[in-house]
Amino acid sequence: MLTFAHGDGPGSRWARELSEGDTCRFFGPRRSLDLSGLESPMVLFGDETSFGLAAALRACPQADGAVHVFEASNVAESRQVAEAIGLGQTTLIERITGDAHLATAEAELSRLAASGAHFVLTGKASSIQHVSRALKAVGVVSSRVKTKAYWAQGKIGLD
């Protein structure tokens, strides 16, 4: 099981308190992110909370060769995790206070948009909104973009 505990939300507290051998109950799977209709090439944008999705996408034929672009609080640590779970093409962008790093993400996603890529945007809600606007500005139509916010600063209860 791969978890990322950021902040002090209920999911983060739960993950931090887990110990080896603990019994956990899970429900699902559920389809909170419908990826039907997306085609290759596929780009996944997200953060550390999106690593599990990136790993799961390896089983999807339309995601073969997917490119991953992640914002990360600790690039070195995130690179180790990405390599350990076998993520392929991964770009890690160091998170900067005030979201200044999103300009780098925006430039990378805009470059990939020129190849006709389809996009899956996950992770932090405000980052998704930012890059969605950037993709729209370069002419990416909504049918080429799927989004799912996993968290937002100060909110609880998201996926």
User: Model pTM?
Assistant: 0.83
Output the pLDDT for position 92: 97
Contacts of 18-24 spanning 24+ positions with Cβ under 8 A: none
Domain residue extents for the chain: 38-151
Query: Whose structure tokens read 């076998």?
Result: 86
Three-state secondary structure readout of 43-67: EEEECHHHHHHHHHHCCCHHHCCCE
| Half-sphere exposure of residue 49: CA atoms within 13 angstroms, side-chain side | 20
What is the per-residue pLDDT across 12-43, written as a single tens digit (0 to 9) for each? 788 888 888 888 876 655 667 887 777 889 99
What is the per-residue pLDDT across 117-148, written as a single tens digit (0 to 9) for each? 999 999 999 999 999 999 999 999 999 999 99
What is the radius of gyration, based on Cα positions, of the chain?
A: 16
Please check whether the domain covering 38-151 is classified as CATH 3.40.50.80: yes
